[in-house]
Amino acid sequence: MLKKVIGGLGLLFILIQFIRPNQTNPVTNPQLDYRTVTNPPEEIKGLLKAACYDCHSNETVYPWYSQFAPVSWWLSAHVREGREHLNFSTFGQLAPNDQAEALEEVAEVIQEGEMPLASYTWTHPEARLSPEQKNSLAAWFNQSGGAKTENSKEQEDD
């Protein structure tokens, strides 16, 4: 009985491997990337790349275990949803007001510790943000979000 169950699970594991999510990164114009558009300090660039870009950009680096279903399905869903909410690779396509809004939201989720997702920091120690790193990220995003809003207001006044 137990042998049959284990055999059945093994077969199921093999069969589900044939359902492969798309894990290729879309090609994007680098001019539209957040880092090109706003040119943040190196520290901020590095932290974003380490803690956010796997799910919120078109530069996802898939770990080896992401090749195996059902983990592959779960990770790919995170990447798809993450990009839908916010994609740093296409940041330059957003209207100025939407950019400002996105930046404010980024500051918020970092300050509240909602992002990066806990399941991600378990497996990516480099993405665990110290309180100081959170502060400098939040300060940068609050300031650049505020600056963007100022700019768009000025443009409206002209």
| CB of 24 or CB of 155, closer to ligand HEC | 24
Sole binder of ligand HEC in the list 100, 106, 140, 144 (CB under 6 A)? 106
Query: Do 142 and 108 form a contact (C-beta atoms < 8 A)?
Result: no
Q: Quote the distance between the C-alpha of residue 143 and its chain's center.
A: 21
Peptide bond into 96 cis (omega under 30): no
Sole binder of ligand HEC in the list 16, 32, 37, 109 (CB under 6 A)? 109
Residue 110 in contact with ligand HEC, rule: CB under 6 A: yes
Query: What gap in Å lies between CA 127 and CA 117, rounded to an integer?
Result: 10
| CB of 54 or CB of 69, closer to ligand HEC | 54
CB of residue 151 vs ligand HEC: minimum separation in angstroms? 21
For the chain, the C-alpha Rg in angstroms (whole number) is 19
Residue 57, number of CB atoms within 10 A of its CB: 25
Sole binder of ligand HEC in the list 38, 57, 99, 120 (CB under 6 A)? 120
Residue 103 in contact with ligand HEC, rule: CB under 6 A: no
The candidate with the shortest Cα–Cα distance to 100, out of 40, 42, 150, 45, is 150
Residue 117 in contact with ligand HEC, rule: CB under 6 A: yes
Positions in 42-101 near ligand HEC (CB under 6 A): 51-52, 54-56, 78, 81-82, 85-86
Binding site for ligand HEC (CB under 6 A): 51-52, 54-56, 78, 81-82, 85-86, 105-106, 109-110, 115-117, 120
